[in-house]
């Protein structure tokens, strides 16, 4: 009986690994680091459902849905626990619901996400409207509406872009950039990122985030080194380290796993 059950499990995972498409993706991650002379730990869960099967194609596995333009809906949950000197441990959590609309039949893009912070009246609504300038290049306008118990309601606006470059050696480069005008101070939020894909399975990337009132002179900034490795077409490991995070002013670490079926 045990042999038969083991064979069945292996068969299921083997079939998933060899499949050329998927409609579900589940992600889990754990993060940790220092904050205000204390420690923080974070757990995140997310599940995404694609309305049509995503074909792996010939691009990096991580970029399949972007290139195929598959619409999706998703739900996520985050939990963070803080341990600060002289204080009792405390935590906060939030959940998120969202969706992405895109299709090969046209070049338009739309996305929305609602984040509710448990135990408070705080919430955040993110909306993006975009256009595919090319099959592998998206440009979008972003809006972020925040309801804050302490500071009231306000809306922030920005712009972002994503481009996947195919190289002649069979590798790829993913380039991303974003800008957001912050309403609660005189700064703006900037981010640039690049990921180098070694074929379809392995990627190494660098992200630079900074706050500034004039684009060039950063008042606060941080670097993130990130990577992913698809052991199979449906199973990936992820890792990242952020140096001098903008919000904690300390280094943060993260490990994650993704499974598709």
- Return the structure tokens found at 55: 């074909």
Q: What is the pLDDT of residue 19?
A: 55
DSSP classification of residue 61: G
Distance CA 105, CA 68 (A): 11
Cβ atoms of 151 and 184 closer than 8 Å: yes
The length of the chain is 261
Domains of the chain listed by start with CATH number: 2-260 (2.40.160.40)
- Ordered DSSP codes for 159-190: EEEEEEEEPTTS-EEEEEEEEEE-SSSS-EEE
User: SS3 of 143, please?
Assistant: strand
User: SS3 of 105, please?
Assistant: coil
User: SS3 of 44, please?
Assistant: strand
- Return the structure tokens found at 86: 């002289």
Cβ atoms of 133 and 148 closer than 8 Å: no
Q: Which residues does residue 221 pair with via DSSP β-bridges, in sequence order?
A: 210
Q: What is the pLDDT of residue 89?
A: 82
Distance CA 155, CA 125 (A): 9
* SS3 assignment for 63-94: HHHHHHCCCEEEEEEEEEEEECCCCCCEEEEE
pLDDT tens for the 261 residues of the chain, in order: 444 444 444 444 444 444 579 999 999 999 999 887 789 999 999 999 999 999 988 999 999 999 999 999 999 999 999 988 877 788 999 999 999 999 999 999 999 999 999 989 899 999 999 999 999 999 999 999 999 887 789 999 999 999 999 999 999 999 999 999 998 777 899 999 999 999 999 999 999 999 988 777 888 999 999 999 999 999 999 999 999 888 888 899 999 999 999
Longest dimension (CA), the chain: 68
First and final CA of the chain: distance in angstroms?
26
Taking Cα atoms as reference points, which of 86, 63, 70, 75 lies closest to residue 236? 63
Taking Cα atoms as reference points, which of 228, 227, 226, 232 lies closest to residue 259? 232
Cβ atoms of 238 and 29 closer than 8 Å: yes
Q: Which residues does residue 74 pair with via DSSP β-bridges, in sequence order?
A: 48, 98
């Amino acid at each position: 009986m045990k042999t038969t059950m083991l064979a069945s499990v292996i068969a299921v995972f083997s079939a998933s690994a060899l499949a050329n498409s998927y409609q579900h993706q589940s992600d889990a991650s754990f993060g940790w680091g220092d904050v205000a002379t204390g420690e923080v730990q974070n757990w995140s869960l997310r599940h995404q459902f694609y309305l049509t099967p995503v074909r792996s194609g010939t691009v990096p596995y991580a970029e399949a849905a972007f290139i195929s333009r598959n619409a999706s809906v998703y739900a996520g949950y985050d939990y963070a626990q803080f341990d600060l000197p002289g204080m009792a441990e405390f935590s906060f959590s939030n959940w998120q619901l969202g969706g992405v609309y895109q299709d090969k039949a046209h070049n338009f893009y739309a996305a929305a996400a609602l984040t509710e912070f448990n135990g408070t009246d705080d919430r955040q609504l993110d909306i993006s409207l975009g256009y595919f300038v090319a099959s592998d290049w998206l440009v979008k306008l972003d809006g972020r509406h925040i309801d804050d118990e302490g500071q009231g309601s306000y809306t922030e606006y920005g712009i972002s872009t994503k481009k996947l470059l195919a190289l002649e050696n069979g590798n790829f480069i993913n380039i991303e950039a974003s800008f957001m005008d912050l309403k609660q101070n005189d700064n703006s939020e900037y981010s640039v990122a690049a990921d180098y894909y070694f074929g379809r399975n392995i990627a190494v990337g660098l992200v630079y985030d900074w706050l500034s009132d004039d684009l060039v002179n950063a008042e606060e900034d941080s670097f993130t080194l990130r990577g992913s490795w698809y052991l199979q077409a449906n199973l990936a490991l992820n890792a990242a380290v952020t140096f001098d995070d903008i919000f904690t002013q300390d280094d943060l670490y993260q490990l994650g796993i993704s499974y598709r079926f």
